[in-house]
Amino acid sequence: MSEQIAVVTGAGSGVGRAVALELAAGGWRLVLAGRRAEPLHGTAELAGRSGAPALVVPTDVTDPDAVDALFAAAERHFGRVDLLFNNAGTFGGAAPVEELALADWRAVVDLNLTGAFLCAQGAFRLMKRQDPQGGRIINNGSISAHVPRPQSTAYTATKHAVTGLTKSLSLDGRPYRIACGQIDIGNAATDMTAAMSVGVRQADGRIAAEPTMDVADVARTVRHMAELPLEANVQFATVLATTMPYIGRG
């Protein structure tokens, strides 16, 4: 896999960093994107211990010009892109639907949905014209692409929409050897999910702690999806803490 090039968004921490390091261990060359340069350089340093070259490109994925610059840098530095792990996202704040501020709604939609679209569009354009043609896009969905948490209107709506984006990219990519799949993650232990082990609101109104799983298990799943030949695709994968409230949630 030493000649494979992966763009990872949200690569400075959490799932993005874990996936970047797992890909680095497999010999992938990395393009690391995220809003803040410092944590991206931290990921690059860790990846370098596996001998994997990494290019750091601070990027606001909600900005079309910044996304264009990201893929231009990847092409200029490595010549092509074989994988986009479309991972950047936010929960946003919990709020009853009638109290959700329009600005808060738009912030979640801009990052989780528009950002995912812009990055997929940039990857699609490059994968379509590069030689050899093709590549793979893996979108980070969520358990909330299937079932909501209480007071998560914006987050849940965007993650359902990401599923539609995944399906459309998968269909439209067929003529160009561009595969697209989605990983739906439940309670991977990261800084973003730290509240899970303390207590989060349940469907019946209780506050209860929830089980979590090692984020490395997510990373290994993404690597498996990424390293399939383009003739095969994991369309949807759900990876979750075994005993978390999902089946039968609410």
C-alpha dist (Å) from residue 22 to 50, 225, 230: 10, 12, 20
| Residue 79 tokens, joined | 């010549």
| Residue 203 tokens, joined | 């469907």
Is there a catalytic annotation at residue 176? no
Selected catalytic residue, list 6, 55, 155, 182: 155
Handedness of CA 238, 225, 75, 123 (dihedral sign): negative
- Torsion from C-alpha of 38, 39, 42, 47, nearest 10 degrees: -130
Nearest to 178 by CA among 168, 192, 189: 168
Which amino acid appears at position 226 of this protein?
A
Distance CA 231, CA 171 (A): 14
Residues with a catalytic annotation lie at: 155
